[in-house]
Amino acid sequence: MTNKLHPALIAFTVLVFFFLVGPLVIVIGSALSDTTYLTFPPQGLSLRWFENIFQISAFRRTIITSLQIAFLSTFIALLIGIPAAYALNRYRIQLPGWLSTLFILPVLVPELVLGFSILKNVAAQFSAPIFLSLVIGHSLLVLPYVVRVISASLASFDFSIEEAAISLGSPPLKTFFTILLPNVRSGVIAAFILSFITSINDVSISIFMTGPGISTLPIQILAHMEQFFDPTVASVSVLLMALTVAVMAVVERTLGLTFLAK
């Protein structure tokens, strides 16, 4: 038996495919252009705009800053988010319903508002260092993703498994690490990837916090674009994509991407 596909369905699928892949093709093409301005299709092939990234010290610095902030804020969000998600699911019946909403508030509030209030109440109020303010801002930004994703994988976790381990003599804290965490591993990794990517791409919170000396990559891209309209920004975007793909590939290798479907 063969499935007959409607021509309209095929056309629609192809359209969606182009919609998803098209922008990426254009960016990659532009990045390879030999011209001094952004253009597609590329005229002449060259890697010189990739070289250019590393010749501009601001790009070198901001790539490192962005990576540091992404790792740190993701780490902090996991540190807060995993126990929070655990408590929200484990004690769902005892806890008031609004508590879980509290943890997704940062997503509901416009990011610009979040950025501005962190600037006013943390960065300015306590004259916190820029780097610290950025880490705090990004931790807040990614925390909801951590709580949501880990909650989703805890929703299918049967807490009597935890009780079984305790009844067999494993203390509660040890049980958390030896029994619970291995069973939500996929959720933790998914949360990590989501947080990391969200942080590294963030503009609206970073734009308030960045100042003299310290900036993040997306802000630097913006700043560069204001002055130059050369393919460097496209090259940086390709690098960012490559980084994301690399992270996914590592995960694919170690766990298999199927975990994302869980």
Stretch that binds other proteins, among 2-10, 51-59, 146-154, 178-186 (CB under 8 A): 178-186
- Binders of other proteins: how many residues, by CB under 8 A? 18
Q: Which residues pair with 33 in a beta bridge?
A: 45
Is there binding between residue 179 and other proteins (CB under 8 A)?
yes
Is there binding between residue 167 and other proteins (CB under 8 A)?
yes
Stretch that binds other proteins, among 50-58, 157-165, 215-223, 252-260 (CB under 8 A): 157-165
Q: How far is the CB of 82 from other proteins (least distance, A)?
A: 17
Stretch that binds other proteins, among 18-26, 107-115, 170-178, 242-250 (CB under 8 A): 170-178
DSSP 132-149: HHHHHHHHHHHHHHHHHH
Burial profile 246-257: b = 16 or more Cβ within 10 angstroms, e = fewer: eeeeebeeeeee
Q: Is residue 110 within 8 Å of residue 41, measured between CB atoms?
A: no
Angstrom distance (rounded) from CA 119 to CA 117:
5
Q: Is residue 219 within 8 Å of residue 206, measured between CB atoms?
A: yes
Q: Is residue 262 within 8 Å of residue 155, measured between CB atoms?
A: no
Is there binding between residue 7 and other proteins (CB under 8 A)?
no
Spatial CA neighbour of 180 closest among 211, 156, 208, 159: 159
Tell me, residue by residue from 63 to 102, as one string, x for binding to other proteins by CB under 8 A and - for no binding.
Answer: -------------------------------x--------
Which residues have CB under 8 Å from 188's CB, separation 6+?
78, 82, 150, 181
Judged by CB under 8 A, which of 46, 68, 170, 204 binds other proteins? Answer: 170
What is the number of residues in the chain?
A: 262
Tell me, residue by residue from 182 to 201, as one string, x for binding to other proteins by CB under 8 A and - for no binding.
Answer: xx------------------
Stretch that binds other proteins, among 33-41, 165-173, 192-200, 216-224 (CB under 8 A): 165-173
Stretch that binds other proteins, among 2-10, 122-130, 174-182, 188-196 (CB under 8 A): 174-182
Is there binding between residue 169 and other proteins (CB under 8 A)?
yes
Helix (H, G, I), strand (E, B) or coil at 95: coil
Is there binding between residue 172 and other proteins (CB under 8 A)?
yes
Backbone angles phi, psi at 40, to 5 degrees: -145, 140
Angstrom distance (rounded) from CA 161 to CA 91:
15
Binding site for other proteins (CB under 8 A): 94, 158, 160-161, 163-172, 175, 179, 182-183
